[in-house]
Amino acid sequence: MKIIDLSKPIQYNKNDPWFMKVKIKHKPHKKAKWLIRFLGLPFKLFPKNFDGWADDVIQKMGVHSTTHIDAPWHYSPTTNGEKSKTIDQIPLDICYADGLVIDMKHKKDFDPITVKDIEQFLQNENLELNPRMIVLIKTGRDKFNGTKDFHKVGTGMSAEATSWLIDKGIKVMGIDSWGWDLPLPYMLKKAKETNNSELFWEAHLVGQDKEYWHMEQLVNLDALPYSGFKVAVFPLKIVGASAAPARIVAMLD
């Protein structure tokens, strides 16, 4: 079995905007020796060739800062009139399933992905969308990952396409762009230019009426075939959180 990592590294990157910055303090082995001594073990009783243990502290990392999966709670406090689920409440049985890649690399920046786009791709590639699949939208914008422009470029899902996937029985879906919608700065600009409140965050807000979970900032989708693989996406169990980092992998026989 071949395993392909679809998650980006968690590390400090100077090019990340402030809202994506990750800061990790790495503590060397020798610092632990003084902690052990403080706890009561004399240096003479330390094991031979023992340098102490390494340790690390995540000083700053938002749950949306790296490859992650959003919970319905992120989109809205309620889903279809009931309290939205937080990330610790994701049903584990939807976190492992057959995967399907939908290739939208031809879409230009700021051109939303529509139902027609998806249907045309499935027809051209003779692919079938089955309920409970994990659908991965490939835009090719992961090449901007780690750059200052990552959150400013790319295509994104429309509300109608998101709703259509949910109606087809898809509970978990993901994208290799910074976000699920069109780029955030673009949505802000267009909403103000047109004075239209319907233009902002339209795909996310489908979650107000229909429960679904989506992944953002995937990588390596080019390494996958369009079908014939499994996807595992198990987020950290952060109680009450709107999202969580996840080590997302694809498995091919």
Q: The pTM is what?
A: 0.94
**Stretch (H or E) spanning 213:** strand 213-216
- What is the model's pLDDT at position 53? 82
Q: Cα angle at 130 between 212 and 210, to 5 degrees?
A: 20
Name the residue among 181, 145, 164, 174 with its Cα closest to residue 232.
174
> pLDDT confidence of 81, banded at 50, 70, 90?
very high
On average, the pLDDT of the chain sits at 94
How far apart are alpha carbons 232 and 253 in whole angstroms?
Answer: 14
CB 243 within 8 A of CB 235: yes
What amino acid is encoded at 27 in this protein? K
Name the residue among 168, 106, 105 with its Cα closest to residue 142.
105
How far apart are alpha carbons 68 and 118 in whole angstroms?
Answer: 23
> Where do the H-state alpha helices sit in the chain?
29-38, 72-75, 115-124, 159-167, 184-194
- What is the model's pLDDT at position 228? 97
User: Does residue 91 come out as left (phi exceeding 0), alpha (psi in the -120 to 50 range) or beta?
Assistant: beta
Q: For domain 68-252, say whether CATH 3.40.50.720 is its number.
A: no
Is residue 44 predicted with pLDDT exceeding 90? no
Domain boundaries, the chain: 23-60, 68-252
> pLDDT confidence of 31, banded at 50, 70, 90?
confident
Q: What percent of the chain has pLDDT over 90?
A: 84
Is residue 49 predicted with pLDDT exceeding 90? no
CB 137 within 8 A of CB 175: yes
- What is the model's pLDDT at position 209? 97
pLDDT tens sequence across 96-155? 999 999 999 999 999 999 999 999 999 999 999 999 999 999 999 999 999 999 999 999
pLDDT tens sequence across 194-240? 998 888 899 999 999 999 999 999 999 999 999 999 999 999 999 99
